Structure 1
Amino acid sequence: MDRYYWGVDLGGTKIECIVIDRNTDQPIVRERIETESVKGYQHILGQIKILIERCANIVGHYPNAVGFGTPGTLDPVHGVMKNCNTTALNGQPLDKDLNETLGIHAVIANDANCFALAETHFGVVKRIKPEAQIVFGIIMGTGVGSGIVVDGKCLYGCHGIAGEWGHNVLEPNGADCYCGKQGCVETVISGKGLERYYYELSSQALSLPEIVEQAKQNNHEAVKTITRLREYFGLAVARIINVLDPEIIVIGGGVGNIEALYQDIETQILPHLFNTELNTLIVKPELGDSAGVYGAAALVKNIS
């Protein structure tokens, strides 16, 4: 059994590796390197190899398995990456190539799954409800992503898209989404969706933090935008609770920082809930920008 958990957060601009002591759950190494993705797929693989070898030299041990958080999904049917904003990865058998390049067992999950895993094993869930069987992790920022953790492990599904909450229709005949549908959760309650709605009301282009500040000053259009967020969030989350019934939901991303989202949250969810009371905890994360790399390490907790 490997003494350490190894995780790599594979981003568009940087690649970060963490090595965590199995006995203490404390990181002993964290190193970064530039991705340089414009140089192509093979170069990215080379950068990962450089980083892994650098960390191995520091700890005096080469890993048997490494978890990788990626900006897309490994298609379980075709065995290649899809939906990556680091486009050089799309269509590539990343797990197989990592196995061959590094001589390790690579485990891959997207950033939302890694977020949910990180907060389950190392963050807020571990602290306040470590016995939780089902955890739903949400990233609400420029877009909307989510991941499901059951008994400490990611749920992937037969298409590799389990937890793809952001592309369910929330507002029929709503704004066009890049996925081809209209009124997806992502188009309605993402940061970009809220900014677009405010612009439609006011003809002013403000950032989400500016809209939040305007709402605090009782600007009519801003208040209406935040009210819309609260109402649609309640509807969208109630559907998740009705289907999965998680003990805890963790909300990350910039939209998740809006305090109004949590105020009297039961009144937004209960009208759409099958159950007559809300017992699911809805909380903020604790790991911040570190969630990706911690979640990648958590991918190998059950196999290394």
Structure 2
Amino acid sequence: MSQFYWGVDLGGTKIECAVMNTEDQCVLRHRIDTEGEQGYEHVIGRIGLLVNTCANELGVFPARVGFGTPGTLDPATGVMKNCNSTFLNGRTLDRDLEAELGVPVVLANDANCFALAETRLGVVKDICPDAQVVFGIIMGTGVGSGIVVHNQALYGCHGIAGEWGHNVIEAGGVACYCGKAGCVETVISGKGLEQYFQQQAKVSAPVPLQQIVAMSAQGEPAAQKTLERLYSYFGKAVAQVINILDPDVIVVGGGVGNIDSLYEHAEQAILPHLFNPVLNTRIVKPKLGDSAGVFGAAMLVKPN
């Protein structure tokens, strides 16, 4: 068994590498700019540079590397899809990384890495260490999610397990980049909430979500309506997940997940849509912050 487990979080603006030991302690961590505007091959080279830099500092090269990616490796075609870093779409990322690094790699969507890290190392380990099913949500500019079952990330036959953000919850709603309209992502993402407030308040410029939350606390009607919309649609969308997966814990990350009142209203918003008279699933904030992605990537290559 290897002494270390290596993870890389490939983001749109930065690439981060973390090396962890068998006690799940991070022994080395570095990040560099992605420089995606210079193209796919350049980014592959940047990843090689980062891993080699860490290997030289640690004095050992990885046997395998786990990668968190802003999209999914399609199991049918072997190429990346649904990446918001669009230069990755249609690319054989796993094979190209293996050619660059000379070692096997394991890829997972960044939301799966978030869910895996919070399960094995974060809040789930603290509050419900025997959890069988965990649903991890990232509600930021967009909405992503990952599923962990028995401490392992779930991918699905299309590689899209956990794509909760692209279920339609508002008929005739705002158009989504995925081609549908009224997706969860268009309704309760940070961007979706800001756009809704702008429409309701009839202001010309976008207002940051944190400011909308503060305005709601001061009684501003459009801000209050925006948060009420969040609670209502969050409850409806999350109830659908609970009815299907029945998770022990739901971890809510991202900027929207920082809104404290969301947790205060969650149970009341979920119950009308739940196929159960009580809600036992725990809905909580994450523990690891922006460390979750890279730690979860390392967990991809560590045995359970």
TM-score, structure 1 as length reference? 0.97
> AA paired with 1:300?
V
* Number of residue pairs matched by the alignment: 302
Moved more, 248-257 or 171-180: 171-180
Aligned match of 1:38? 37
> What is the distance in 1 between the residues matched to 2:5 and 2:187?
38
**Aligned match of 1:7:** 7
Corresponding residue for residue 292 of structure 2 = 291
2:229 alignment partner, SS class = helix
Mark the runs of 5 or more structure 1 residues left unpaired by the alignment.
none
Q: Report how far residue 48 of structure 1 moved.
A: 1.1
Residue 126 of structure 1 deviates from its aligned partner by 1.2
Report the secondary structure of 2:47's partner residue: helix
In structure 2, the partner of 1:170 is 169
Contiguous gaps of at least 5 residues in structure 2? none
Q: Shift of residue 289 of structure 1?
A: 1.0
Find the aligned partners of 2:268 and 2:113 in 1 and give their Cα distance.
30
Alpha-carbon distance in structure 2 between the residues aligned to 1:182 and 1:147: 22
Alignment RMSD, CA only? 1.1
Deviation at 1:158, TM superposition (A): 1.0
For 1:20, the equivalent position in structure 2 comes to: 20
Distance 1:34 1:208 in 2: 27
Deviations 1:88-128 (A, max 9, x none): 21111010111122111100011111110111111111111
Aligned equivalents of 2:104, 2:282: Cα separation in 1: 35
Aligned-partner Cα distance in 1 for 2:265–2:233: 14
Q: CA deviation at 1:34?
A: 2.2
Which amino acid in the other structure matches residue 237 of structure 1?
V
Q: Deviations over 1:237-274 (max 9, x none)?
A: 00000000000000000000111101142211111110
Inter-partner Cα distance in structure 2 for 1:219 and 1:86: 37
User: What does 1:263-278 correspond to in 2, within 5 Å?
Assistant: 263-278=264-279
Q: Distance between the aligned counterparts of 2:266 and 2:46, measured in 1?
A: 45
Structure 1 distance, partners of 2:86, 2:139, is 22
- Note the C-alpha offset of 1:302: 2.2
Q: Hey, what does 2:128 align to over in structure 1?
A: 129
Deviation at 1:33, TM superposition (A): 2.0
| Secondary structure in structure 2 of the residue aligned to 1:29 | strand
2:192 is the alignment partner of 1:193 = yes
Residue 83 of structure 1, CA deviation: 1.9
C-alpha displacement of 1:55: 1.2
Structure 2 CA distance for aligned equivalents of residues 288 and 265 of structure 1 = 21
Matched position secondary structure for 1:262? helix
Secondary structure at 1:6 match in 2: strand
Q: In the alignment, is the contact (CA less than 8 A) between 2:234 and 2:266 conserved in 1?
A: no
Q: Which runs of 4+ in 1 moved over 4 A?
A: none
Mean Cα deviation higher: 85-94 or 164-173? 85-94
Q: Match for 1:182: what amino acid?
A: A
Paired residue for 2:260? Answer: 259
Which residue identity lines up with residue 280 of structure 2 in the other structure?
Answer: N
